[in-house]
Every structure is written in C-alpha cells, then in structure tokens.
Amino acid sequence: MHLRPRRNRRTSAIRALVRETTLSPSDFIQPLFVHDGTEDIAIASMPGCTRWSLSGLVKEAHEVFAAGVPAVVLFPAIAESLKTPGAEEAWNPDGLVPRAIQALKEALPDLCVITDVALDPYNSDGHDGLVEKDEQGGLHILNDETVEALCLQALCHADAGADIVSPSDMMDGRVAAIRFALDQEAFEQVSILSYAAKYASAYYGPFRGALDSAPKAGDKKTYQMDPGNAREAIREVALDEAEGADMVLVKPAGPYLDIIARVRESTTLPVAAYQVSGEYLMIESSAAAGWIDGRAAALESLTGIKRAGADMIMTYYAKRASQWLKEA
C-alpha cells in the first residue's frame, strides 16, 4: 500500500507543515460591552463577559491589544431613561459611544475601533429600526426613516474617531446612504463593515440580556434573514458591495459555515463572521459542567469558522484565544 495519508499526520512538526488553516490573534475582533457607570459589572447571561465602565473599558482594551488582537467592536448598554421611540440618543455627540471611542483612541491610537450602527440599544421599542404601530397594534419597521437615523449615528461615531462603522440593522439601502453621508462630511477614510447576511437567529438571546435590548413586542423577522435561505445571502452581499461596503459580515458563524463559504466564493471583499453569544455560551456552559474541554472546543470552533472562509472573526474568545495560541 503506497498511498498512506497518515504519513502527513505522523508528528506535530509534520502536521504543522501541512496544516491548511491556522489561527492568529490578528484574525480576531473583540466585542466589548460598555455602560455609563463607575463599576464594571459581570454579565449574568454571558459568564466571563463584563459591562465595562469607561475606565474599565480602556484597561481591558489595553489587555486585548497586548494579546495581539488588532480591533474591538463596541456595544453600549444604554440607560432606560435615555431610550425613546425616535432613538435620538444614538447620535448624541456627548453620548456613551462617542466618549468610549475618544477614550480608546486617546489611550490606544493604533487600536482599530469598530462601532455598531443600529438603533436597538437606544430604541424604547427594542428594535433595530424605528417602529410604526397600526390601529390593530401591529408593528412595522420603517426602513427609509431608519436609514436617515443610521446616517446620523454613523456620522456621530466617525466624528468621535471610529475607524470602522458597522451597520447591523439589515435595513435596505443603508450602506449606500451611510457611505454618501460619510463622504459628504469628509469622512471618506472611515470604513464600512456591513452585516450583510444577518439571520433572525435564536442564538442572540444572551447578548440581548447583556444589553437589555430585546424587542418589547414582535420579532425581527421582517428585517433579519430567514435561517432557511442561502441564495438570499449572496444577493444581500452583492447589494452591499455595490453600495460601497468595504467588508461584509455573516452572523451567526457556527451554524452558518455554509453561508460563510458561499459568501467567500461570491465576493473579493474581506469576509467577517460573528461567533455570537449563544455559540459562546454553549461552549462555556458545557465546559463549566465538565463535559468538554472548553479551550480546545473554542479553538476548534474558531478554526472551523476561518476554514469556512472568514478573514476575521468577532468572538468573545478573542483575548483568551490569542493568549492560548501564544502558549501552544
């Protein structure tokens, strides 16, 4: 028998030589939660994650950057008193996110700061877009009015110093509108990372607990994608690319590896994937119960996401995974 594939697996050195997919800290984006308080608060729905104060955020960002992770993405927990049907706090220049951006860029000028552009943290209805209610109590998410608000939010973030704005709302036409608004205000160097294929997923639950941002009524199925659809993802990516996106993102990651692979084949843009809170919590919960090796499972899951075609991965494991890779 002269064909023996196992020869390429015989030693760790040989396995390293022939390995097709490798992870690096530079593959990762660290999501960071921030709130307008003086204390850092552990997130009950996401063990191991924290709602950071501004000072805690800067300290954690230093550790993330020191681990080799080049970028963070910010998610704000907004006080209920600031949430309104019009989500006006989303573009308050003195708001939480602009202050967080400024603090991070002052402390770590070389850190890439990405901001989430969506209205759900600021909207008293808990939706990514502005809500209109009919006489029967039904909800309608207003697309074009929402896009106007998203442009104001993106401009606010750009003015504060964000490197990349990342619309996650799934409204039609928002990438083109944001690109035009940024360019008109001389922010042509600010990039757009578009959530091009964001699915209406059950895996987001722990995240919504982290930000208290779940919809007060209805669901997000009229704007987030149907989990049964794959070709639609390619259409969404093509539209966002044509509208001026610099990078595109698939969310969630693990249950949608096929979508990541299809998107990778359909575009020359960099492709990101978001390993979401439910994916994270499944690994953490199983590891805490002693059923799996959490470190090995986390690294394997991240390898699978990259192998599927992701150039960058948003993951709550970013800092820890980078440290593990250095120890390996």
Of 83, 198, 220, 306, the active-site residue reads: 198
CB distance 76 to 97 below 8 Å: yes
Q: How many CB atoms lie within 10 A of CB 295?
A: 15
| 89 assigned binding-site residue | no
- Residues 303 and 254: their CA atoms lie apart, in Å, by 10
Q: Which residue has the tokens 């600021």?
A: 122
- Residues 223 and 171: their CA atoms lie apart, in Å, by 7
Of 83, 220, 251, 306, the active-site residue reads: 251
- Residues 200 and 221: their CA atoms lie apart, in Å, by 6
251 is catalytic: yes
Closest listed residue to residue 117, CA positions, set 137, 97, 139, 140: 97
105 is catalytic: no
- Residues 137 and 253: their CA atoms lie apart, in Å, by 34
What DSSP string runs through 219-272? -STTTSBPTT-SHHHHHHHHHHHHHT-SEEEEESSGGGHHHHHHHHHH-SS-EE
Identify the three-state secondary structure at position 184. helix
Which residues are annotated as part of the binding site for Mg(2+)?
A: 236
* Binding-site residues: 236
Q: Which are the catalytic amino acids? A: 198, 251
